[in-house]
């Protein structure tokens, strides 16, 4: 019995497209449909399939499928000049035992592009993410994590509020969310690789506190996007619109912010929320500031970073890409008054939050600059005992890694939100004499392909 996953009305009753000697491997079928056997999971929420049985058959990256499944694939991005195609599994002919019914009604081919693993049971999601992290470390980083770390990569579940360990659902964890808004003023999310908006009434990923604000149940004419940022004391809403004033609806929140992307304007109430983080204390974060979306990610990451950093009183510590100061505040508490901690951040809003959050930490000095430029200047010490990096998705890259290693730290703690970037930065550190010693992979974005890692690197022992 096949399972029809599509909601686009396409005819699924025609014969299967079996690649063979008479097929045209460089051209997509006229109806845009192929029957393929899904191969291994790939970075980005896809599985790898090939047209035909030949090992060099054209690669198709397929969403909404699982390794080993036989699926009917609608091509979404195909052409003779492309090195690979993209597609969505719109019908399952042979299902994986790990396939489940997506808990969200918007998670289907042609639907919301935010969650790419809702069709996979939760424990299998983590196993697939672990396989991706492993593959990127081997292929890009040049290290076998099982040999280096003494065991396979395991993606850990993060605690969910109100649930015991082992009872996680993968839902209701998101404390910060940005909705796109369609031309009619309805909030929703973009389709995969599209600017089209899928209107939603309730996203099962958000916490009850975010949903209670009621953004998805209000009209937002003239607005391009609405963000809800919740903390331990409530939520703030940020509505982005053009330079002309737009009448915004009332919301049940601590504050409402309007204006353009570059020039936010307070409409009512506050522009920030508070977060109480074990190990770091109380932090203030602006509605546009960076903060981990998962309700328990901040405290979990702080625990891992502090353990790996091993900061001692009197140390010189660098916190690069410091954001609002989550790790800065935590490490400053370990440092005491005898050492120095330099926090580097380029975003103006984040620096404002950072300065407020470290005002009671005399050992902290804030540098408002791009990390790569700051490391070339005199504001950052030429030597450091510990360096913590939490770079954007692209990773730290060569210039930053070289400048970090030149300072001779005994520990480099890398927080990576992208397995490919983790692999590339691992290779750069390895080339410069720093070895991977520990790794925590965390399921900070359940139901999606995203995974967060905290990695420890230390200098190679002299021969």
Q: Which residues are catalytic?
A: 417
Dihedral Cα 356, 362, 363, 369, nearest 10 deg? 40
- Residue 321 is assigned to a ligand binding site: yes
> Cα separation of 463 and 449, whole Å?
40
Angle of helix 419-431 versus helix 122-139 axis, rounded to 10 = 30
Look up residue 427 and give its two tokens: 């290779």
- φ and ψ at residue 115, rounded to 5 degrees: -110, 120
Pairing of strands 155-157, 434-443: parallel
Q: Which residues contact 175 (CB under 8 A, 6 or more apart)?
A: 206, 207, 209, 210, 229, 230, 231, 291, 293, 294, 295
Look up residue 356 and give its two tokens: 């407020």
> Cα separation of 16 and 13, whole Å?
9
Integer-rounded Cα Rg, in Å, for the chain is 24
Whose tokens are 């050492």? That residue is: 339
- Residue 292 is assigned to a ligand binding site: yes
Bind-site residues for S-adenosyl-L-methionine: 292, 321, 345, 390
List binding-site positions: 292, 321, 345, 390
């Amino acid at each position: 019995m096949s399972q029809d996953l599509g909601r686009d009305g396409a005819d699924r009753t025609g014969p299967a497209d079996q690649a063979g000697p008479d097929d045209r491997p460089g051209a997509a079928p006229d109806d845009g449909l192929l029957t393929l056997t899904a191969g291994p999971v790939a970075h980005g929420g896809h599985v790898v399939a090939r047209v035909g049985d030949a090992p060099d058959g054209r690669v198709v990256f397929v969403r909404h499928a699982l390794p080993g499944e036989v699926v009917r694939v609608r091509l979404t991005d195909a052409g003779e000049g492309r090195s690979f195609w993209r597609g969505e599994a719109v019908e399952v002919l042979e299902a994986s035992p790990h396939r489940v019914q997506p808990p969200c009604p918007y998670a289907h081919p042609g639907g919301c592009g935010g969650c790419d693993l809702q069709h996979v049971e939760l424990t299998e999601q983590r196993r697939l993410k672990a396989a991706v992290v492993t593959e990127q470390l081997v292929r890009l980083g040049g290290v076998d994590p099982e040999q280096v770390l003494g065991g396979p990569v395991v993606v850990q579940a993060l605690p969910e509020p109100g649930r015991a360990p082992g009872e996680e659902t993968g839902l209701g964890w998101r404390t910060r969310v940005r909705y796109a808004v369609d031309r009619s003023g309805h909030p929703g999310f973009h389709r995969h690789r599209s600017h089209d908006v899928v209107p939603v009434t309730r996203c099962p990923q958000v916490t009850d506190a975010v949903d209670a604000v009621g953004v998805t149940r209000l009209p937002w004419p003239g607005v391009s996007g609405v963000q809800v940022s919740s903390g331990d004391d409530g939520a703030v809403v940020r509505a982005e619109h053009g330079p002309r004033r737009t009448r915004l609806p009332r919301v049940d929140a601590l504050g409402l912010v309007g204006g353009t992307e570059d020039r936010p304007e307070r409409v009512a109430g506050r522009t920030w929320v508070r977060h109480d983080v074990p190990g770091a204390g109380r932090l203030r974060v602006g509605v546009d500031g960076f903060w981990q979306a998962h309700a328990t990610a901040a405290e979990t990451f702080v625990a891992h970073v502090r353990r790996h950093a091993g900061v001692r009183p009197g140390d010189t510590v660098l916190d690069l890409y410091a954001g609002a100061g989550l790790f800065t505040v935590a490490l400053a508490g370990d440092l005491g008054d005898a050492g120095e901690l330099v926090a580097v951040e380029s975003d103006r809003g984040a620096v404002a939050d950072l300065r407020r959050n470290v005002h009671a930490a005399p050992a902290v000095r804030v540098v408002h600059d791009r990390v790569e430029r700051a490391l070339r200047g005199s504001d950052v010490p030429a030597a450091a005992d510990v360096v913590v990096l939490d770079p954007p998705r692209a990773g730290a890259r060569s210039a930053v890694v070289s400048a970090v290693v030149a300072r001779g730290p005994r520990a480099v703690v890398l927080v990576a939100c992208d397995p490919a970037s983790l692999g590339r930065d691992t290779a750069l550190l390895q080339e410069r004499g720093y070895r991977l010693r520990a790794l925590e992979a965390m399921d900070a974005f359940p139901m999606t392909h995203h995974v967060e890692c905290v990695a420890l690197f230390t200098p190679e022992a002299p021969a």
